[in-house]
Structure 1
């Protein structure tokens, strides 16, 4: 699993659930139900103060784990295995970032 932060364009349902994304010039479709959770961030290290009532987005990160497949398959072998990504959305700006790329869950050969 790699961890980093890279900007990504995400298409969402009216309820805010990711359904597709554009990353590195390639379109991907979400192929399994996304999972959402929240993680605490060290806001005191990044913000001088937290305005009253600004908890969402300041104290917690909204994280979505999605499995995606290329919308237009490049190769059949690539299209058969989904890529698992953790995405986060910045509450104030609405911008999305990729936080983690998970290794494919498949048996390893020696």
Structure 2
């Protein structure tokens, strides 16, 4: 797993969940239910103080973990990749935060493993 700060384009559902991620010039489809949480950021390094009532975007990052597959001709060797994305609350822009180890996109049947 590595930490990044790379801009990505994200298309969302009507509920605001990531549906398609355009990464490295290629569209990728979110293949599992994305997971959202918030992480505290070190806002005091960049800001002199946090105005009362500010939280999301200044104090906390909105992070989404998504599992993706490229939108292209799928082959059995294609593997899904898991990314953590950050959405900037004020601008709506998305950034790649973490890349996790790739996982197989399909389950291996016991007789396939032999």
Shorter-chain TM band: 0.7 to 0.9
The CA distance in 2 between the partners of 1:77 and 1:26, in whole Å, is 19
Alignment of 1:1-110 (within 5 A): 1-73=1-73, 76-79=75-78, 81-105=79-103
Structure 2 unaligned spans of 5+ = 105-114
Unaligned runs of at least 5 residues, structure 1: none
* Separation (CA, whole Å) in 2 of partners of 1:47 and 1:77: 49
Find the aligned partners of 1:46 and 1:78 in 2 and give their Cα distance: 44
Residue in structure 1 matched with residue 110 of structure 2 by the alignment: none
Larger radius of gyration: 2
State the alpha-carbon separation in 1 of the partners of residues 103 and 69 from structure 2: 14
**Other structure's SS at 2:57 match:** helix
Measured in 2, the distance between the counterparts of 1:88 and 1:7 equals 10
Backbone CA RMSD of aligned residues: 1.5
Which portions of structure 1, spanning 4 or more consecutive aligned residues, are displaced by more than 4 angstroms? none
SS at match of 2:66: strand
Partners of 2:90 and 2:50 in 1: how far apart? Answer: 13
| Larger helix share, 1 or 2 | 1
TM score, norm. by length of structure 2: 0.84
Task: Count residues with an aligned counterpart.
Answer: 104
Partner in structure 1 of residue 108 of structure 2: none
The CA deviation at 1:72 is 1.2
